[in-house]
Amino acid sequence: MFPYLPHTDEDINNMLDVIGLRSIDDLFSDIPEDIRLKELLKINNPMSELEVSKYMNNIAKKNKSTDELVCFLGAGAYDHYIPSIIKHITSRSEFYTSYTPYQAEISQGTLQAIFEYQSMICELTGMDVSNASLYDGSTATAEGAFMACASTRRNKVAVSRTVSPGTRKVLETYTKYKGIELIEIEEKDGVTDVDDLREKMNKEVACVIIQNPNFFGIIEDVSKVEKITHESKGLLMVNAEPISLAVLKSPGEYGADIVVGEGQSLGNPLNFGGPYLGFISCTKKLMRKLPGRIVGETEDVDGKRGFVLTLQAREQHIRRDKATSNITSNQGLNALTAAIYLSALGKEGLKEVANQCLQKAHYAADSLCKTNKYELRFNKPFFMEFVVKSSIEPEKVNEELLHKNILGGYEIGKDYDKYKDDILVCVTEKRTKGEIDNLVSIMEGIE
């Protein structure tokens, strides 16, 4: 086995001669002697490639993935079926090594892929414009808040407590250092408290942020929220679950101005937490405040269809101190994955996935309630997640399930004190009737 660094003693001496030094130690002459390490680093001896491979595999085996566990955990990251065509295409070197398509003439493939992604996000959300994607759903929400403040020239943002706790924490961090005041709208019976919103809404609030379906899996009645928001000339921002948009009204249909969300469920693996992608779209009126890259369709000198980065001459490039955002990146490979997923499934395929999630989740909820050990916390319409309460401690339930190779639901008492005995259960299209029945049977048997 050869060492990792190929330099011979002769190579090293030649390099030292060129820069006029006698030894490698001379490279560190500017570092005071008393703070230099006088001994070897306390690490293991060098290992061969074969040994490193075995070592890393042994560490990896300490994790358990959804290949080994039956997953009923959601709360923002979802175990959906991923068509095999996705990996076949995204593993092509021209995609996974692609960089920013600044030179349109040599980047038509990348630009077209992003354009198609943007077009499909617009169709799902009912919005006019989408960008090339952002880091994840939480940061997309924060970027949307900045957009709203810049557009309305207001300095307050209202967010419902039914929005994911993780997203609200990111939003708090982002707004704090921008000097934006964050107002929380209370939750009541699992949905946004409209009376609290009405009381707190005023001409200083730039936007109201709700999630639909919300963190508890419930489908919010957005109509009242939309009316209150727009009466005060604020903007309505919806954090949407993309799979649900195949069967629910698009946010554009009920008056949203900005739509954001997490795109992981569109063909991206769970990946132990990332990388994911955030999508963001808006009305035409707001497009010049949209952060990041936008790909547009055009014609070349011969009249042939082509693609370019468009709306480039924005504050992000020319007046950076006035920028809505300084983000210039996008999750290109993850966005490509989403585009392939949506193309492969098509309109009817996506509806089928959404309907299966809906039906299987309701079957699981009904079955758990029939045990008389669990009951639904909220009597509200839900999509693929629902909250159950029980006299049995959630930690004990999940511990017992894990012993049976089942990844149980999310313990929402971690984030909501008044729901400390509750579990958020998620059922996607991947779950079979047998797996659901087994979950119910095990949970029924826990004392």
- Rounded CA-CA distance 146/291 in Å is 9
Nearest to 48 by CA among 39, 58, 56, 37: 56
Dihedral of CA atoms 262, 281, 382, 277 in degrees, nearest 10, equals -10
- How far does CA 57 lie from the centroid of its chain? 27
What is the per-residue pLDDT across 409-424, written as a single tens digit (0 to 9) for each?
Answer: 999 999 999 999 999 9
Cα–Cα–Cα angle for 294, 297, 303, rounded to 5 degrees: 150
Q: What is the pTM of this model?
A: 0.89
* Cα 207 to Cα 150, 173, 202, distances in angstroms: 11, 17, 10
Count Cβ atoms within 10 A of the Cβ of residue 328 and give its class: 0-12 exposed, 13-18 middle, 19 or more buried. exposed
3-state secondary structure 32-65: CHHHCCCCCCCCCCCCCHHHHHHHHHHHHCCCCC
What is the per-residue pLDDT across 145-163, written as a single tens digit (0 to 9) for each?
Answer: 999 999 999 999 999 999 9
What is the per-residue pLDDT across 149-208, written as a single tens digit (0 to 9) for each?
Answer: 999 999 999 999 999 999 999 999 999 989 999 999 999 999 999 999 999 999 999 999
Would you give the end-to-end CA distance of the chain in angstroms? 57
What is the per-residue pLDDT across 15-29, written as a single tens digit (0 to 9) for each?
Answer: 999 999 999 989 999
- How far does CA 314 lie from the centroid of its chain? 26
- Rounded CA-CA distance 391/423 in Å is 11
